[in-house]
Structure 1
Amino acid sequence: MRVLVVHNRYRSVNPSGENRVVDLEVEELRRAGHDVATYVRDSDELETMGTAEKLRSVVAPVRSPRAVHDVARLLATHRSQVLHLHNPYPLVSLSVVDTARAHGVPVVQTVHNHRHTCMKGTYLRDGHECRDCLVSGTPLPGVRHRCYRDSLPQSVVMATALVTHRRTLDRIDRFIALTPEIRESLLQRGTDPARIVVKPNAVPDPGSPAPLGRSVTYIGRVSREKGVLALLDAWTRLPAQRGRQLRIAGAGPESDEIARRAVDRDDVEVLGLLDPDGVRRVLEDSALVVVPSLWAEALPLVVLEAMAAGRPLLVTDQGGLPAVVGSETGLVVPASVDGIEGGLATLLSDRALLEQRGSAARAAYEQRYSPSVVTRELVAVYESVVAGSAGAAA
């Protein structure tokens, strides 16, 4: 299969799980023998652009002549059978969908977030859930609240892109939703259910799990909506956990607050931002991984990484988390300090339960989230749209 993968990488100052997913998919497709070409732009380019180029980039979310030209050239030279689009913003735009269609090439898009119905992509505003644009059917609330990069001009441009490309979305042959929750979001915007498949991401296999450690671990952005402050509040309510620590890995706007509150506590360790090897080591030392999100998160990679490492999970009932983590592989609790506290108390009081659910998490990873399994599902999506395109042409 000849596949052209198109992606706009996120800024390097904001480590992106989506970038890692795209890299792994390309690697695994090539390992499976497929011919993969890539067209990748990088939001870091904005920092080095000259004045004229930066001015042109302002309207790139609506239409990027450079991306259209480059993708057309690649489609012709590579003779791609399918174009797989990931993030198109801000330097690629959805205009490449029509470029592919003009070349008779079907389009698949992985929907990693809620950008089609929320310019911020998160259904989150000022720390609270917001679905005003989805409910109203217009991005105007996002403009009013300056939701895209906290900028009125950039929010206007993104709103223009969303309105301009409403019909373009109808010309995408297949949407890959990471979770049933994202599928539901697409259905609410009017997407034909026959054009949506649910396929999760994968993470590399770290090998056979080590025995459970002792620590309780949070890995992710250190921000209020991620629930890390709620987790710390819940932890401090628990009776003293002999020999256990809450370990917090990551960086973000609440890093200073977390450090301040942890400074006099021997049972809390703040690790900062970790590289992949550091994440692996922390997971090995963990008895439990907590994802305490207070918003409709899609599918954080740390969930899959914990499962791959054979670690049980405590997650909140937000976004796509309940569809991935259930009573067999961990515990789902209400998104509140009380809910998180109760979940911690239940799981940490029973070592055998932790081990049982950790083993089940590893089994679920092998059956559903390993690279080989997910790559087969992805290729099946490609084959379906290519066959449909050939049938339509005939």
Structure 2
Amino acid sequence: MKILFAHCRYQQTGGEDRAVEAEMAALREAGHDVSLLERDNEAISTIWDKAKTAWSLPGTDALRAELRAEIAEHAPDILHAHNIFPLITASLYDAARDLGVPVVQTLHNYRNICASALLMRDGRICEDCVGANPYQAVLHRCYRNSTLGSFALARMIAHHRDKGTWSQSVDRFIALSEFSKSRFVAAGFPADRIIVKPNSPGALFTAKPEPQERSGALYVGRLSQEKGIAALLRLWKRDWPPLSVVGEGPDAPVLDEAVRDGRAVALGPLEPEAIAGEMRRAALCIIPSRCYENFPMVLGEAFASGLPVLASNIGALGELVQEDRTGAQFDPFNPDSITGTIDAAFADPDRLARWGATARDHYEKHLTTAETTTQQTLIYRSLTGDGATA
């Protein structure tokens, strides 16, 4: 098949960018012709750039024509959209429909129903706008504490809800977990068009890890409030092994303090190969998110590495990490729950090893590149008239 991916690259590379790269590589390995329609959010630099981008968020006729020409040049059988915010926009769907190209959209985050994209406000879960008036976001300045930015996002959400974009312009949605699907259905997305398919960690993690002595804990992700890393670092005990931290972000000063007193090791942003190496050495991985995750790449990477996961018990993480099988769960807003779970994990290395083995088994049954690529191909073929279903 000829498949065209569409993606706005983030200013700070994260899990969505890695997921797109992994999917493209897997589809090419399976024999498909895959190309990329890409924008880079680094292009938004001046005040004028920001104002123009904010005004264009619902989509424009000019952008529709520009995207139509790009799609026509590639002549794909399928258009698969990933992050289209803010430079591609839903004009992509209209351009594809003009050309008769079916559209698949992966729902990596909650941007289409929440101005913050996280279903989070003031450090807590918030679903006030789910299926309700999105302009509440303006009152609370949900997008980067900006009234104007929040208005632009609320306007975009309201426009596409009123226009019926989600029921008319996208042929299939891919949600990364059942929990994620439930939130979009609650917001009015058509349940019969949403297929649940998890992320796969990609080829780097295919081989079964060699047996070796493991030690310590690992965090991989953005250093920001919604990820819960600052709260975790403040609770990290001196008698625990230092927490190895991969990533960068605004909460870096909290990490620096933990490094100074020997409770953490800052590894900075690492390439995927180096992350894979850290996962094969660690005894456990911690995902302390305070927001609703969908299916973080780090989770699949940890499972593939035979690395058990301690995770927040909210959103999809509560669904994806099996208590006392692939790891353990804690309340990310309860310090005693966090420290108690970590204490119990470090106290029983044999149990950690069992969890890790079960995590690898789960990867081999459900998360391999072969398995997720087959699922993805079935979704595509269900839209191209060859009789397949998804």
Q: Same fold judged by TM-score > 0.5?
A: yes
CA–CA separation in structure 2 for the residues paired with 1:56 and 1:68: 15
Alignment of 1:8 with 2:8, yes or no, is yes
Which residue in the other structure is 1:306 paired with?
A: 302
Which residue in the other structure is 1:358 paired with?
A: 356
Cα pair distance change 1:269/1:76, threshold 3 Å: closer
Letter in 1 for 2:30: A
Letter in 2 for 1:230: A
Letter in 2 for 1:121: A
Deviation at 1:191, TM superposition (A): 2.0
In the alignment, structure 1 segments of 5+ residues that lack a partner are: none
Deviation at 1:357, TM superposition (A): 1.0
Alignment of 1:256 with 2:253, yes or no, is yes
- How is 1:39-50 mapped onto 2 (pairs within 5 angstroms)? 39-47=37-45
Alignment of 1:219 with 2:220, yes or no, is yes
**Of residues 142, 145, 148 in structure 2, which corresponds to 1:147?**
142
Q: Is the 8 A contact 1:123 1:296 kept in 2?
A: yes
CA–CA separation in structure 2 for the residues paired with 1:357 and 1:89: 38
**Which SS does the other structure have where 2:129 is aligned?**
helix
Alignment of 1:326 with 2:327, yes or no, is no
Letter in 2 for 1:146: R
Letter in 2 for 1:269: V
Q: CA offsets per residue over residues 137-164 of structure 1, 9 Å max, x none?
A: 1211112222223332232222222122
Which residue in the other structure is 1:169 paired with?
A: 166
CA–CA separation in structure 2 for the residues paired with 1:356 and 1:260: 34
Q: Is the 8 A contact 2:104 2:173 kept in 1?
A: yes
**Of residues 279, 284, 287 in structure 1, which corresponds to 2:280?**
284
Q: CA offsets per residue over residues 203-253 of structure 1, 9 Å max, x none?
A: 1243221424111112222233322233234432x8x34xx3322232222
Deviation at 1:70, TM superposition (A): 3.3
**Which SS does the other structure have where 2:4 is aligned?**
strand
Q: CA offsets per residue over residues 341-360 of structure 1, 9 Å max, x none?
A: 22212222222211111111
Q: Is the 8 A contact 1:67 1:91 kept in 2?
A: no
Please identify, of 15-24 and 250-259, the stretch whose mean Cα deviation from structure 2 is larger: 250-259
Number of paired residues? Answer: 381
Cα pair distance change 1:139/1:50, threshold 3 Å: closer
CA–CA separation in structure 1 for the residues paired with 2:86 and 2:337: 38
Q: Is the 8 A contact 1:83 1:105 kept in 2?
A: yes
Which residue in the other structure is 2:289 paired with?
A: 293
**Of residues 358, 373, 376 in structure 2, which corresponds to 1:375?**
373
CA–CA separation in structure 2 for the residues paired with 1:55 and 1:262: 40
**Which SS does the other structure have where 2:17 is aligned?**
helix
Q: Is the 8 A contact 2:135 2:155 kept in 1?
A: no
Which residue in the other structure is 1:106 paired with?
A: 102
Deviation at 1:389, TM superposition (A): 11
Deviation at 1:270, TM superposition (A): 2.9
CA–CA separation in structure 2 for the residues paired with 1:157 and 1:319: 27
CA–CA separation in structure 2 for the residues paired with 1:340 and 1:54: 40
Deviation at 1:64, TM superposition (A): 4.0
Cα pair distance change 1:388/1:58, threshold 3 Å: farther
Alignment of 1:61 with 2:57, yes or no, is yes
Cα pair distance change 1:268/1:7, threshold 3 Å: closer
Structure 2 length-normalised TM: 0.90
Letter in 1 for 2:256: A
Identical pairs, percent: 34
Letter in 1 for 2:353: E
**Which SS does the other structure have where 1:332 is aligned?**
strand
Please identify, of 83-92 and 53-62, the stretch whose mean Cα deviation from structure 2 is larger: 53-62
Deviation at 1:330, TM superposition (A): 1.0
CA–CA separation in structure 2 for the residues paired with 1:157 and 1:295: 22
Q: CA offsets per residue over residues 350-392 of structure 1, 9 Å max, x none?
A: 222111111111121122222221111111111112239999x
Which residue in the other structure is 1:190 paired with?
A: 188
Q: Is the 8 A contact 1:98 1:168 kept in 2?
A: no
Which residue in the other structure is 2:244 paired with?
A: 247
Q: CA offsets per residue over residues 185-217 of structure 1, 9 Å max, x none?
A: 111012222111100111124322142411111
Letter in 2 for 1:346: A
Structure 1 length-normalised TM: 0.89
Alignment of 1:97 with 2:93, yes or no, is yes
Which residue in the other structure is 1:27 paired with?
A: 25
Letter in 2 for 1:263: R
Deviation at 1:284, TM superposition (A): 2.2
**Which SS does the other structure have where 2:55 is aligned?**
coil
CA–CA separation in structure 1 for the residues paired with 2:228 and 2:213: 24
CA–CA separation in structure 2 for the residues paired with 1:293 and 1:127: 11
Please identify, of 146-155 and 86-95, the stretch whose mean Cα deviation from structure 2 is larger: 146-155
Which residue in the other structure is 1:268 paired with?
A: 264
- How is 1:193-208 mapped onto 2 (pairs within 5 angstroms)? 193-204=191-202, 205-206=204-205, 207-208=207-208
Deviation at 1:317, TM superposition (A): 0.5
Please identify, of 313-322 and 329-338, the stretch whose mean Cα deviation from structure 2 is larger: 329-338
Deviation at 1:57, TM superposition (A): 3.1
CA–CA separation in structure 1 for the residues paired with 2:47 and 2:85: 19
**Of residues 107, 110, 120 in structure 1, which corresponds to 2:116?**
120
Q: CA offsets per residue over residues 295-342 of structure 1, 9 Å max, x none?
A: 212222111111111111111112211222103211122222211222
CA–CA separation in structure 2 for the residues paired with 1:175 and 1:286: 35
CA–CA separation in structure 2 for the residues paired with 1:120 and 1:226: 14
CA–CA separation in structure 1 for the residues paired with 2:103 and 2:63: 15
